[in-house]
Amino acid sequence: MDPFSAEGELLNIHNAFHSGQYPEVIDFETAALSPENQLPARVLKLRAQIATGQAAEVLATVSSEEDTPDLAAVKALAQQVLGKTDAALQLAQDLAENYPDNATVEVLAATVLQAQDLSEEALALLAKHQGNLEAVSLIVQIHLQQNRADLALKEVQAAKRWAQDSLLVNLAESWVGLRVGGEKYQSAFYVYEELASAPSTSAPLSIVGQAVAELHLGRLPEAEAALNSALEKYPEDAELIANSIVLNVLSGKPSTDLEARLSQVQPSHALLADIQEKSDFFDAAASKYAPKVSS
């Protein structure tokens, strides 16, 4: 029943999407797919387009043929990404109410909800899934964002029982592993390294994952090698730049250039916002102190 199972014909496009190979997804040949798989494949392609920054085009495409809940969900996501948050929320909530059993709706509407910090609503929607691994991985991520590694771990272990070999479960387990730490860092490293080293799955996503795992393992030179070679290949990838900043700071190297680059590529990146916020916080906190005698 699961079109993404190991024998299904969507396996390759699905894996390509989740290992972050968006160009491959967009170029994927779908003509040969059976009719019932055409729509899921189309959704994946549209999502890949959104992920590569073509949300506006996607919105234009789906707006004209918004006849299935799947495409409507894609529309909601595109709106969210384009900053039309109110419309996106409205649409997502509608969809969640009307089509809670549609796998695409579950995942995309929950993404929109979570992106607007409505974690409880997102989780409630996702809880209705029936063997949708993507929903599982989303649940794991939401739990982790809520700092509930314990719940995330439970979710992963439950999923492992019925889908041990899925890429998504492996990835979700690595996310949890990187939060838990200790030996789990190494296991997460293996998962990402395997992805990053195989030509059929290598993408910024997997290289960043590998480098992050190495950072956490304290293996800075290896992390540096991975990030530097990836940066040459994908100079515009925000997460690559962000993690390179962290690495440079850790190894005592200047990071100003990279920060400038990041603010160009993605001015809204969490790292920059965070630093700005903390900088202001610092000034506020520091102003409470003064020497008894000013010199």
Partner 1 sequence: MQSSPNMLTKFESKSSRAKGIAFHPTRPWILVSLHSSTIQLWDYRMGTLIDRFEEHDGPVRGVDFHPTQPLFVSGGDDYKIKVWNYQTRRCLFTLNGHLDYVRTVFFHPELPWILSASDDQTIRIWNWQNRSLICTMTGHNHYVMCAQFHPTEDLIASASLDQSVRIWDISGLRKKHSAPTSISFEDQMARANPNQADMFGNTDAIVKFVLEGHDRGVNWVSFHPTLPLIVSAGDDRLIKLWRMSDTKAWEVDTCRGHFQNASACLFHPHQDLILSVGEDKTIRVWDLNKRTSVQSFKRDSDRFWVIAAHPKINLFAAGHDTGVMVFKLERERPASAVYQNQLFYITKEKHVKSYDFAKNVESPPMLSLRKLGSPWIPPRTVSYNPAERAILVTSPADSGTYELIHLPRDATGAVEPTDVKRGQATSAVFVARNRFAVFNPSSQQVDIKDLSNSTTKTITPPAGTTDIYFGGTGCLLFITPTTVVLFDIQQKKQLAEVTVSGVKYVVWSNDGLYCALLSKHNVTIVTKTLEQVSTLHETIRIKSATWDDAGVLIYSTLNHIKYSLLNGDNGIIRTLDQTVYLVRVKGRNVYCLDRNAQPRILEIDPTEYRFKLSLVKRNYDEMLQIIKNSSLVGQSIISYLQKKGYPEIALQFVQDPQTRFDLALECGNLEVAIEMARELDRPNFWSRLGAEALAHGNHQVVEMTYQKQRNFDKLSFLYLATGDQEKLSRMAKIAEHRGDFTSRFQNAIYRGDVEDRIQMFKEVDLYPLAYLTAKSHGLTEEAESILESCGLTEDQIGLPSLETPLQTPRPIVPTFKSKWPVKAAGHSSFEKALLGEVGADEEATGDALEFGEDETEAVLAKDTLDDEEEDASGWDMGDDVNVEEDVEFVNVESAEAGAGSSEADLWARNSPLAADHVAAGSFDTAMQLLNRQVGAVQFAPLKDRFLEVYKASKTYLPASTGLPPLVNYVRRTTEETDSRKVLPIIPRDLETIASVDLQEGYAAMRANKLEEGVKIFKRVLHTLLVNSVSSEEEVEQAKKIISTAREYILAMSIELERRSVPTDTEEGLKRSLELSAYFTIPKLEVAHRQLALMAAMKLSFANKNFNSALGFANRMLANGGSAKLLDQARRIKAQCERNPSDAIDVEFDQFAEFDICAASFTPIFSGSPCVTDLFSGAKYHEQYKGSVCRISEVTEIGAPASGLRLFVPGL
User: Does residue 187 bind partner 1 (CB under 8 A)?
Assistant: yes
If DSSP codes are grouped into helix, strand and coil, which group holds residue 203?
coil
- CA triple 239-243-246, angle to 5 deg: 150
Cα–Cα distances (Å) from 136 to 22, 76, 92, in that order, read 21, 20, 19
User: In b/e form, how buried is each residue of 258-285, taking b as 16+ CB within 10 angstroms?
Assistant: bbebbeeebeebebbeeeeeeeeeeeee
* Residue found by looking up tokens 């030179």 in the block: 221
**Beta carbon nearer to partner 1, 42 or 269:** 269
Among 46, 96, 171, 231, binds partner 1 (CB under 8 A): 171
Tokens of 76: 């909601």
CB 243 within 8 A of CB 211: yes
| Assigned token pair, 198 | 């195989």
Nearer to partner 1, 89 or 212 (CB): 212
| Residue from 250, 261, 263, 265 in contact with partner 1 (CB under 8 A) | 250
Count of positions on this chain that bind partner 1 (CB under 8 A) = 88
Out of 20, 28, 75, 169, point to the residue binding partner 1 (CB under 8 A).
20
Q: How far is the CB of 224 from partner 1 (least distance, A)?
A: 13
Question: Could you tell me the two tokens for 266?
Answer: 């993605």
**Out of 105, 215, 230, 231, the residue judged to bind partner 1 by CB under 8 A:** 215
Stretch that binds partner 1, among 5-13, 34-42, 62-70, 89-97 (CB under 8 A): 5-13
Length of the chain: 295
Q: What angle do the packed helices 220-233 and 238-250 form, to 10 degrees?
A: 150
Closest approach, Cβ 100 to partner 1, in A, equals: 19
Residues 106-125 that bind partner 1 (CB under 8 A): 108, 111-112, 114-115, 119
In angstroms, give the least distance from the CB of 253 to partner 1.
10
* Residue 245 near residue 255 (C-beta atoms within 8 A): yes
CB 37 within 8 A of CB 61: no
Q: Is 264 in the site for partner 1 (CB under 8 A)?
A: no
Residue 294 is given by DSSP the state -
Return the number of the residue (112 or 231) whose C-beta is nearest partner 1: 112
Scanning residues 130 to 159, which ones bind partner 1 (CB under 8 A)?
A: 134, 137-138, 141, 144-150
**Minimum CB distance to partner 1, residue 36 (Å):** 21
Answer yes or no whether residue 271 interacts with partner 1 by CB under 8 A. yes
Interface residue with partner 1 among 50, 125, 156, 230 (CB under 8 A) is: 50
